[in-house]
Structure 1
Amino acid sequence: MSNRNSKANKAAARERLREERARQAKREKIRRQLVVGGSIVAVLGIAAGIGIAVSNMGGSGGKVSNEDWVSTAQKSAFTKPANTSGDKGTVVVIGDKKVKNTVEVYEDMRCPVCASFEEASGDTVIKDMKAGKYKLQFTLGAFLDENPQIKGSGSKNALSALGAALNVSPDAFLEYKKALFSPANHPKETEDKFSDDAYLLKIAKKVDELKSNAAFEKAVKRGTYDKWALAMKDRFNEAKDVSGTPSFKVNGVKMAVEGAPEGTPIVTPEQFNAAYEKALKQKS
């Protein structure tokens, strides 16, 4: 992420971030702000991508507007993916169900900091989940699609495609999410490339379970899980104590970077593990 912007652009992005946080604070249901931690910037150099970095120009590279995508989705039949629970299939838990501790993961597929977290810590988190340290519960939002300066439909469209992957298997979901967040595939938040089904399917070819899966491809093209994506988005918006992405909780207790300003995103494995252990000791 750090190679995408010059130093001047990084400074400008930080200023735009402050302005955006002020605007977001006024919204009743979707208040999303991320505070850039100086230590994280020093480690990863991702200041230009922290939080909801915006530009003076609108989003580009998108195929479908936010309004058109929502209108079409609302008219479609509701289908929830396999490997989910809850009335609307918005409870997505992966890992050994017998494991006591649950890490709740909150992300937006267009979020650049989520991509940075996945690049730095994703493999470590999945490894620990498979080792039985905890199970993972994923709640994915789409607040960036509704940002007036970069609005689009990529977060919801990618979420729908992830629903199609989840219907194949939990492993397909995890591998596809990893591929979408990878530096090679994750676009700038001002470029709504995830709204393009063809782009999503191109990335899916890098996932073994999806690359030759006709049912998955049909589900993406037809928007089979579009209405489910809206339900998942609503679940994200209703989550308590989630003021930005990525955010994490352990058994309902929010994880935080110790010694950093409130809202500083967790990015590195060291930050994640320390925040996990601290939250684990607290009562939910």
Structure 2
Amino acid sequence: MSNRNTQENKQAARERIRAQREKEKKKERLRRQLIVAVSAVGVLAVAGGIGFAVMKANQPTGWEAAKEAKLVTPAHTQGDKGTEILIGDKNAKQTLEVFEDVRCPACAAFEQSTGEELLKDLHDGRFKVRYTMYSFIDDMQGGEGSKNALSALGAALNISPEAFLKYKSALYSTKYHPDEREDLYAKDSELLKVAGDVPELKSNKAFEKQVKDGTYDRWAMEMTALFGRKGVRGTPTFMHGDKKLTMAEIPQQKMTQEQYNQLARANFRKMIDAEFGPAKGGDAGKGQDAGKDGGGQGIAKGEKDPTGGN
């Protein structure tokens, strides 16, 4: 073998080795680039997943979410956000304002003993009644029963003012009203059970769906946001214009439930007569019944709230 062939073979071998090394280097660079790229995608995916999880975690839920939901106002309401509930004979010249909280035990005591007295004056056309419903018991005791019951009252009001009044009375009744420490009305099933005693609501699929769907949850939040309106921060409270009406307290003494109810009705009657004047016997029964055809359809469209405030 000549020296020339030997040199050529060595040179060829060195070229093959160099080419192989370059090929291996390129493969290694490509492998590293792929690793970096995959790692970056993985980091982005993880970061995106964490970001999505954080975003979901920060999204409001429950009644906080209700504040941002689409506002649906019940029929028979007025005002910018449907928070004016005015019920009674449209020809009644006076308006009594009633402030209540569905979970409030004092409100329940009033409704159970004296609620029918108020409704009699309402039905007789002695005055209209504007209801402002609060939910501060939820904040004080914890829970959401006041708000949930208020949303359900919105569904009842959407049917008729009379359904609203009957349902409110049933919610406050001795048969159903829970201890304020028991958040029973947070359960839709309990609200629907109470509705079974109201003819307009019993087996009413539209009402049932609205309660379960929380159709009026946002409206309930708007209503309860009126807390402190006209300086009212306790319930039940009664006002005529800007005047807060005061009812005599019932003596702390041993008595039957019927005796308590009689005193409560007498004290309410005295307060109302002092403010609106004695009821005229000839007017009794002449007012149009709230919620029935021909009158009592709440605030008519375009009618100005006679109480002159939000």
TM-score when scaled to structure 2?
0.64
Aligned length: 208
- Partner SS state of residue 268, structure 1: helix
For residues 146-161 of structure 1, the aligned pairs below 5 Å read: 146-147=139-140, 150-161=141-152
Cα distance, 1:274 vs structure 2: 1.6
- Partner SS state of residue 225, structure 2: helix
Distance 1:242 1:273 in 2: 22
Tell me what 2:83 maps to: 90
Tell me what 2:254 maps to: none
Distance 2:186 2:68 in 1: 18
1:221 aligned to which of 212, 235, 241: 212
| 1:238 and 2:240 are equivalent in the alignment | no
Identity %, equivalent residues:
47
2:106 aligned to which of 113, 118, 127: 113
Tell me what 1:102 maps to: 95
Tell me what 1:172 maps to: 163
- Mark the CA change 1:190 to 1:259 in structure 2 (over 3 Å): closer, same or farther: closer
1:213 aligned partner, one-letter code:
N
1:169 aligned partner, one-letter code:
S
Distance 2:224 2:268 in 1: 24
The answer to whether the Cα contact below 8 Å between 2:99 and 2:238 also exists between their aligned partners in 1 is yes
Distance 1:280 1:187 in 2: 34
The answer to whether the Cα contact below 8 Å between 1:113 and 1:246 also exists between their aligned partners in 2 is yes
- Partner SS state of residue 63, structure 2: helix
- Partner SS state of residue 144, structure 1: helix
Q: After superposition, what is the alpha-carbon deviation per residue over 1:67-109, rounded to whole angstroms, capped at 9, x for unaligned?
A: 9532231242110000000011100011012211111000000
Distance 1:205 1:162 in 2: 14
| 1:123 and 2:113 are equivalent in the alignment | no
- Partner SS state of residue 209, structure 1: coil
The answer to whether the Cα contact below 8 Å between 1:81 and 1:163 also exists between their aligned partners in 2 is yes
1:184 aligned to which of 165, 169, 175: 175
2:264 aligned partner, one-letter code:
T
Cα distance, 1:177 vs structure 2: 0.3
The answer to whether the Cα contact below 8 Å between 1:69 and 1:153 also exists between their aligned partners in 2 is no
The RMSD of aligned alpha carbons is 2.0
Distance 2:198 2:249 in 1: 38
Unpaired stretches in structure 1, ≥5 consecutive residues: 1-66, 262-266
Bigger CA drift: 250-259 or 219-228? 250-259
| 1:273 and 2:269 are equivalent in the alignment | yes
The answer to whether the Cα contact below 8 Å between 1:197 and 1:221 also exists between their aligned partners in 2 is yes
Cα distance, 1:258 vs structure 2: 4.5
- Mark the CA change 1:98 to 1:251 in structure 2 (over 3 Å): closer, same or farther: farther
Unpaired stretches in structure 2, ≥5 consecutive residues: 1-59, 252-262, 278-307
Cα distance, 1:260 vs structure 2: 8.4
